[in-house]
Structure 1
């Protein structure tokens, strides 16, 4: 099936470059809502701020729901030090070493945005020598150095920065000539772009669906409760479109859609997994099956909350997850093709 790769890349780059750590997702939701408005596709907004888009099908009593999450890793201001630098607390789970030296923005309650960089408290080997190298990368040893002329806590407070303000990591998005996609937050913005494009494709082409199909854009997945509520009540099959995790001793690939058989929450539904694999085989969609021991998804959250439905987990293979990540456009396209083909499956 032919897709507009440039439009898909536009969605990818736009979504990746809008800061959206868990708890601060209104800007990216505004972007998605504006795109849906331009497509004349209706949606509802849940109390928690998630988006649900429903495309009607012939069977409305047996529904399918795809999910992807816009919230990302990030941090919050934990305190302002006497020097004017900021201590921080992580939002989501990541290695603190992965943000050492990273540029960031700080966004205040009244909408002011400041730039800065995250460093250890001993960032220079010329000053601290081996102590700089040996310093453990933990939140207590990390701080945000603001790009402002400040030298005291009072100077920083005068900027309007306070405890609880969000710290957003620079995405540093790059798409190479050979279609490698390098960026923070491919987990899970690559899949959000996939679902947004799938909605566009199905709606603009007036494609009839055998089952009513919902798209659940969640905003609290990284902290564990993204899709725990507000799933359309007739959902019988729930597919979390997140990411695969290529790496040491894993079967996943940066070029394929990855189908998860089991993660830390247990096995996903066998019948649904077989159906996804059959669709891939029938349509020459590149895929890999894998198991992720340290992973959970919106589907995991939904099951823990008591939803009675079959669940699956798919997504493009994303290398170096929860750090500076990489995938390939082929993996994104294979994921898109599986979402679209599954939506048409009777």
Structure 2
């Protein structure tokens, strides 16, 4: 839980993930696990297994939703361009940080231009879109020139305050649980494997990808020997969904199509044999690093699991129990026999 909180508090919108990748790199060094960066900026750790002719890859993505400065307005406010698939209404009223290309950081708040009900009679009727939403910078600025004097420019990254809270009842409330919850789970899995001195049956790669929210995080650096590719992401909740905040969700199909049937059945069997609470589900508007890998042409068996998370791409919440169930399934999966 502490590791998850640390990850959540490090800003990492897609395209600006250097700081959090460095944090994970240091974490792995302490475990004496070698890792390397790919050219996209993601991180790959490899555990040698008894069988080096057949590989597994597990991936979770550390990049999050975010934004960029689209325009510096004449009144000193900023227009936004969104990074990732979410709606403007989900960030209205949120505190944010603008990071300049030289590394300076400024705080702000994302608001409707027509926020004040004492001035704008139709404030409630205005559409939440790029035209009407803006950042109010916490600096004394009155013009575009004042803003540029701070070093802020078009293309600067904007990250959202995660507002991390862990309740006594075991809930975790925060932005960006998609997919930092699963990153924490994979890092903890690596620690457990090292601590228990486990030799895995197959050489296993852990990819911490950094472009999943924009569609191509896990589509490269897959060795030719890789047979199984398991994305560890989030289970989507809502009307018609069986996923909840207390179990591991095993995805049967998403917007990219069905996941590998035999792998799905084996994940279910592992859960049943080891008393792991799980749900099967379809995510209608969803894609993963595993589906990106297939689209890139890799000949792999692909799967997708993750803790159930409520209100995805907005005000997310899960429970410690979902993290535990996901961690347990992964623990038994990486030690299981492969589909060959």
Which TM-score bucket, shorter chain as reference? over 0.9
Residue 257 of structure 1 pairs with residue 248 of structure 2: yes
Question: In structure 1, what is the Cα distance between the partners aligned to 2:312 and 2:68?
Answer: 21
Candidates 279, 282, 286, aligned match of 1:291: 282
Question: In structure 2, what is the Cα distance between the partners aligned to 1:284 and 1:124?
Answer: 54
Question: In structure 1, what is the Cα distance between the partners aligned to 2:312 and 2:130?
Answer: 19
Q: Which shows bigger deviation, 228-237 or 318-327?
A: 228-237
Q: Tell me what 1:319 maps to.
A: 310
Q: Tell me what 1:196 maps to.
A: 187
Q: Secondary structure at the match of 2:50?
A: strand
Question: In structure 1, what is the Cα distance between the partners aligned to 2:303 and 2:178?
Answer: 17
Structure 1 length normalisation: TM-score?
A: 0.96
Residue 244 of structure 1 pairs with residue 243 of structure 2: no
Which stretches of structure 1, 4 residues or longer, exceed 2 Å deviation after superposition?
A: none
Question: In structure 2, what is the Cα distance between the partners aligned to 1:234 and 1:329?
Answer: 35
Larger relative helix fraction: 1
Gaps of 5+ in 2: none
Structure 2 length normalisation: TM-score?
A: 0.98
Question: In structure 1, what is the Cα distance between the partners aligned to 2:88 and 2:224?
Answer: 39
Instruction: State the 1:233 CA deviation.
Output: 2.6
Instruction: State the 1:204 CA deviation.
Output: 2.1
Q: Deviations over 1:178-214 (max 9, x none)?
A: 1100000000000000001001110122111111111
RMSD: 0.7
Candidates 216, 221, 234, aligned match of 1:230: 221
Q: Deviations over 1:147-171 (max 9, x none)?
A: 0111111110000000000000000
Q: Tell me what 2:176 maps to.
A: 185
Question: In structure 2, what is the Cα distance between the partners aligned to 1:345 and 1:317?
Answer: 23
Candidates 34, 39, 53, aligned match of 2:31: 39
Asked whether the 8 Å contact 1:216–1:231 carries over to 2, the reply is: no
Candidates 307, 325, 332, aligned match of 1:334: 325
Candidates 107, 112, 124, aligned match of 2:104: 112
Q: Deviations over 1:227-286 (max 9, x none)?
A: 111123311000000000111111101100000000000000000001100000000111
Q: Tell me what 2:50 maps to.
A: 58
Q: Tell me what 1:301 maps to.
A: 292
Question: In structure 1, what is the Cα distance between the partners aligned to 2:223 and 2:191?
Answer: 20
Question: In structure 2, what is the Cα distance between the partners aligned to 1:314 and 1:124?
Answer: 44
Asked whether the 8 Å contact 1:209–1:344 carries over to 2, the reply is: yes
Gaps of 5+ in 1: 1-8
Candidates 139, 148, 164, aligned match of 2:130: 139
